[in-house]
Amino acid sequence: MNQKVNRRGIGLACLWGAIEANDVEYYPYHMTQIELFDLKSSTHQAETYALLAEVVYQPTLEKLTSVVDEYLLNPQLELWGSKHGGVLAGLIGIEYQSEGIAIIRHIVVHPSMRKHGIGHRMMLAMQEKFRLKKLIAETDRDAEQFYRRCGFVVTSLGEVYPGVERFLCELEVLAN
């Protein structure tokens, strides 16, 4: 098996198991809605770990297990996924702060399925499902433009870590 490595250095082949990134067929997403399912009661563990490895800093199996366990054990946390063609296309994890306010802890789309609006539609689906009035995220330069395109107000927090600029992203959801 060819060893694929994500941008943070972890071998994805070991996480995906038999599923290689090249084995996933490319799908054009023309649907307007996306259906989410609860990953806390899902059988997609290997795919969940592989997607989280894309967004967890310096991922290891132990660190990924800790992240998943936190979602499973903390009732303030929600972890939802979206499937396409039998494959986990993306996931979104949120933390409730107060009535109608949530922090996006993780959002990621399978590398072969990016740039089709899946991440944005997952956010919209979460807003609707949980009647969120405000979404908050903290991110790095890699995802800053994604949040801007989704309508978030993005503010630089400066160099929070040596050589790493962080951004606060906030979205007030307008009531219809």
12-132: what CATH class?
alpha beta
What are the residue boundaries of the structural domains of the chain, listed by start?
12-132
Looking at this protein, which amino acid is placed at residue 171? L
Q: Each residue of 65-118: pLDDT tens digit?
A: 999 999 999 999 999 999 887 889 999 999 999 889 999 999 999 998 988 889
- Residues 170 and 85: their CA atoms lie apart, in Å, by 32
Give the 3-state secondary structure of residue 90: strand
Token look-up 């890699």 returns: 142
- Residues 128 and 83: their CA atoms lie apart, in Å, by 18
Q: Which of 43-47, 53-57, 81-85 is the least confident region?
A: 43-47
Give this prediction's pTM: 0.79
- Residues 90 and 51: their CA atoms lie apart, in Å, by 7
Residue 138 has pLDDT above 50, yes or no: yes
Give the 3-state secondary structure of residue 122: helix
Token look-up 């009535």 returns: 99
Contact 132, 40 (CB under 8 A): no
Q: Which of 6-20, 60-74, 96-110, 153-167 is the least confident region?
A: 6-20
Tell me whether strands 101-109 and 134-140 are parallel, antiparallel or unpaired.
Answer: parallel
